Amino acid sequence: MSKVPESAELYQRAFLQLIAEDKNISFHAERGREFLYRPGQLLVGPDDQQRVIEKLRENNIVARPVDGFAGLARLILPNNPEDVPRIVRLLRDQRNWPNQRVPLVQPHHVIVGHGGLVMGNPGDRPYPAEPIPAPKSDDRLREVRVGIIDTGISSGADSEHSDWFAERYDKEPDDVDPAYSSGNHFALQGGHGTFVAGVIQSAAPGVTFDPEVALDQNGFGDEERLCNKIIELGQKKINVLNLSLGCFTEDDVASEPLRRAVEGLPADVVVVASAGNQGTQRPSWPAALCRVTAVAAAEQKRDGSLGPAWYSNWGHWVDACAIGNRASTYLKGEWQLPGEASATPFALWAYWYGTSFAAPLVTGRIAATMVADGITAAQARDKLLSGPEFHPGYGVFVK
């Protein structure tokens, strides 16, 4: 593998600094079991809430119930905000529940955009790219609707990239990506949602999409915000839902709120999610859920051949892969990471890599196959996934 570029190291350092400074994000750093979570919060099955409170009281831990979400109760631990991982393991230990069922309990996990390497965040920031000609629009795709839950969409996307986005989504103020940390300097995942939307349009030109915000401009969100957006889109008419984001969980146990939110979607909605970017077999959620099509990344080598992307997560839970390093629609602004001597200007186009950008290619191909063959989203997905495995743990390659 080639030497990691200096900008990638600076980018990772900037993410870690943000995590360290954010009082609403805690990092469980146990090697091989890392995850991010909201300090002082436990999510509990509603039928288990009272006995969990009583068990915590036996261990001198104060727990206060507050509003939950996605069918789960929530407990606040005012005196033990950083002890959530230890407390979850205490409550999941069968020895502490003799002749009883172990309760459903988990941390409130933090979600990240899957553009690389720190807990799934991009391994390197984007780079400027040359403009890409808009693909010829297929009017039939206007009847197909794709949900995109991400950082949102650029405020000027429909005018600055009119050939790509004009009249293809409803422009709503709460769907706008803040994008910048200050002035015209990009935040660490500013423009991520606009980039993803462009990848979908490149694979399904003319498709209608609904952008929703569940990640801030640095790429951080949580299970509550993501679940609420999934539920919201489930009440609208969408055919495919793209989630270029995810999280690791404590002891790799499936995220229960995400499972419930996804299972609550109409049966004909296909969900596509990125697999994550740590080069591990650890499952990322929601990608690893049974109903979700999990997408890893492939990359084009210097000799022109295709192979698994070195950064991509992989495993038995992955269904498909697509090229993750690509150019797409972006914003105007400048990138300057702490430690860089000068800023890099961007003029509406960027090149980026990550499973974040493999997943929307698959999403777009599902939409395009629907109209080309006159079939449902589920049938289109199954057709795309009917080929041979590209590489063990990477699923079927989708062009």
Torsion angle, alpha carbons of 213, 116, 389, 135, to 10: 60
The amino acid occupying position 120 is: G
User: Which residue out of 192, 202, 284, 328 is catalytically annotated?
Assistant: 192
Pick from 308, 257, 259: which is nearest to 288 by CA? Answer: 259
User: Which residue out of 28, 109, 114, 150 is catalytically annotated?
Assistant: 150
Q: What does the alpha-carbon distance between residue 87 and residue 357 come to, in Å, rounded to a whole number?
A: 36
Specify the CATH class of 24-110 in words.
alpha beta
Q: Is 386 a catalytic residue?
A: no
Q: What is the pLDDT of residue 382?
A: 98
Domains 24-110 and 112-397 in one fold? no
Q: What is the pLDDT of residue 146?
A: 98
Q: What is the pLDDT along the chain (399 residues), one digit of tens a residue?
A: 444 567 788 888 899 999 999 999 999 999 999 999 999 999 999 999 999 999 999 999 999 999 999 999 999 999 999 999 999 999 999 999 999 999 999 999 999 998 645 555 556 889 999 999 999 999 999 999 999 999 999 999 999 999 999 999 999 999 999 999 999 999 999 999 999 999 999 999 999 999 999 999 999 999 999 999 999 999 999 999 999 999 999 999 999 999 999 999 999 999 999 999 999 999 999 999 999 999 999 998 888 899 999 999 999 999 999 999 999 999 999 999 999 999 999 999 999 999 999 999 999 999 999 999 999 999 999 999 999 999 999 999 999
Q: Are 40 and 251 in contact (CB under 8 A)?
A: no
Which tokens in the block code for residue 70? Answer: 């996605």
Q: What does the alpha-carbon distance between residue 222 and residue 322 come to, in Å, rounded to a whole number?
A: 26
The amino acid occupying position 307 is: G
- Taking every pair of C-alpha atoms in the chain, what is the biggest distance, in angstroms? 66
Domain 112-397 has CATH 3.40.50.200: yes
User: Which residue out of 26, 154, 284, 356 is catalytically annotated?
Assistant: 356
Distance of CA 294 to the CA centre of its chain: 11
| Residue 213, C-beta contacts closer than 8 angstroms, at least 6 positions apart | 149, 150, 151, 152, 174, 175, 176, 177, 193, 229
pTM: 0.95
Q: Is 138 a catalytic residue?
A: no
User: Where are the domains positioned within the chain?
Assistant: 24-110, 112-397
Q: What is the pLDDT of residue 101?
A: 97
Q: Is 192 a catalytic residue?
A: yes
